[in-house]
Amino acid sequence: MLEAIGNGLYGLIAGFTGLHWSNPVMIGLGCLLLYLAIKKDIEPLLLLPIGFGCILVNIPLAGLMEEEGFLRTIYDAGIATELFPLFIFIGIGAMTDFGPLLENPRIFLLGAAGQFGIFLTLALALALGFSKLDAVAIGVIGACDGPTAIYVSSKYAPHLLSAVSVAAYSYMSLVPIIQPPIMKFLTTEEERKISMGAVKKTVSKTTKILFPLIVTVVGGLIAPQGLPLLGTIMLGNLMRESGVVSRLTKASENEIANIVTLLLGISIGATMDGKNFLTPQTLMVLGLGFIAICLDTVCGVMFGKLLKVLSGGKINPLIGAAGISAYPMAARVAQREGQKYNPKNFLLMHAMGANTGGQVGSVMAAAVMLSVLKGMGII
Amino acid sequence: MDNWTFGITMVVVGMGGTILTMWVLSLLMGLLRKAFPYKKEEEGK
């Protein structure tokens, strides 16, 4: 009788005795993510479910990530199969107006330059001793694009998924803090004052409808390994621009995106088990992710300076910093920095063009990277 | 393949491939705009 009572009581304290030292640390980290989401409004849609998932998975003996645990079921259904990031991409395509980019197609090149940080960081990660596929997953943080980072890391380096995802979303939200000092350092005051004039509305509806089709076919032929990423974002955009499936467009940008964001966030949080997350490797991933975003900005601004020269001084190099995928924060940063030096300057729509170019560029860069890996027989 | 060769290949082909693809897309978009110019009457549609 007494033994039975003792065993029963032990069942109530087993959770405490099963705690590993890393679990309370990770519960604290989960609370920090919740604080950033709730109090600081930093990517709350993602950081809130990630933070809560992190807390859930660090409570011992609950078995949420064991086989048949509910978080494992969600993870296997949407992350392991790569479906969640692709659903998110349909929503992103449905939300994005590529009009400002199509007004000035040269700006596509800024969207490419803003991805160079991916490849430079990949090389840096290799130099620091990471394996090839780990370096690929780390480099892709430089896409500044959460779904792309999740897609690539879940496929080729799932053990780094949580660190890569947290880094990608955290640094995306820190773009307004990370970019301005770099933009200021790399440009002269005269360059920052360059006025680009108003963006005229001169893109036909036919062009807007054909844009996603052409990007899908041409991009897919050049880099077929990235077609799931490219195809889904362009499907969303085709639905938007065609104007004939408004129900699907609205569902993609609202209901589907919301449900998938919740499931994506909580299942990423569920990968943050203390024993696996609290390693020197995670710190290195976070550090390299930061370097990747800085390198993207450097390359974008430098390419903006090159375009300025080639255009006879008509392009303000600040919009080069917007050639990353963090939409629309990066465009707003370019606008704000430009107006600091020339209050009559309205760079926003030009920067939006570069920013949407960055969205296409990040997907294209990941697609090119995967296809090169396939060509080399690495994957 | 050693890490050095892999890294250099990824930097050169990856960056080159990305910018080349985006350049091709920018040319095609320029052609599209010429082939299907904007008409004033599209406004309000």
pLDDT at residue A173, as a whole number: 80
Q: A372 CA to chain B: closest CA distance, Å?
A: 7
Nearest CB to A109: which of B7, B17, B26? B26
d(CA A33, CA A47): 6
A306 touches chain B (CB under 8 A): no
Whether the predicted pLDDT of A199 surpasses 80: no
pLDDT confidence of residue A145: 87
Is residue B26 within 8 angstroms of chain A, CB to CB?
Answer: yes
Indicate yes or no: CB of A108 within 8 angstroms of CB of B17.
no
Query: What is the rounded CA–CA span in Å between residue A121 and residue A295?
Result: 8
Mean pLDDT of all residues belonging to chain A: 92
Cβ of A207 within 8 Å of Cβ of B29? The answer is: yes
Q: Which pLDDT band holds residue A174 (cuts at 50, 70, 90)? A: confident
Which residue shows structure tokens 């099963």?
A: A18
Q: ipTM of this model?
A: 0.91
Suggest the residue from B2, B15, B24, B40 to mutate for an interface test with chain A (most A CBs closer than 10 A).
Answer: B15
Q: Tell whether the model's pLDDT for residue A268 goes beyond 70.
A: yes
pLDDT above 60: residue B45: no
CB atoms under 10 Å from CB of A339, counted, come to 15
Q: Could you tell me which residue, A345 or A128, shows the higher pLDDT?
A: A128
Residue whose structure tokens are 């009572």:
A5
Q: What single-letter DSSP state applies at residue A299?
A: H
Residues A92-103, mean pLDDT to the nearest whole number: 92
Write out residues 138-167 of A within 8 Å (CB-CB) of B: 139
pLDDT for the residue numbered A235: 97
Average pLDDT value for residue range A101-113: 91
**Comparing A200 with A92, which gets the higher pLDDT?**
A92
Q: What is the mean pLDDT of residues A146-158?
A: 91
Closest C-alpha among A130, A54, A181, A145 to residue A288:
A130
Statement: residue B42 has pLDDT above 70: no
Q: Which of A120, A211, A361 sits opposite B22 (nearest CB)?
A: A361
Q: Which residue has the tokens 């859930």?
A: A56
Contact between A368 and B17 using a beta-carbon 8 Å cutoff = yes
Name the residue type at position A322.
A
Whether A212 has its CB under 8 Å from any CB of chain B: the answer is no
Closest residue of chain A to B12, computed from CA coordinates = A119
pLDDT band of B43, cuts 50, 70, 90: low
Q: For residue B7, give the nearest of A109, A123, A211 by CB distance.
A: A123
DSSP string, A63-117: -TTSTT-HHHHHIIIIITTSHHHHHHHHHHHHH---HHHHHSGGGHHHHHHTTHH
Reduced to 3 states, what is the DSSP secondary structure of residue A30? helix
Cβ pair B14:A369 closer than 8 A: yes
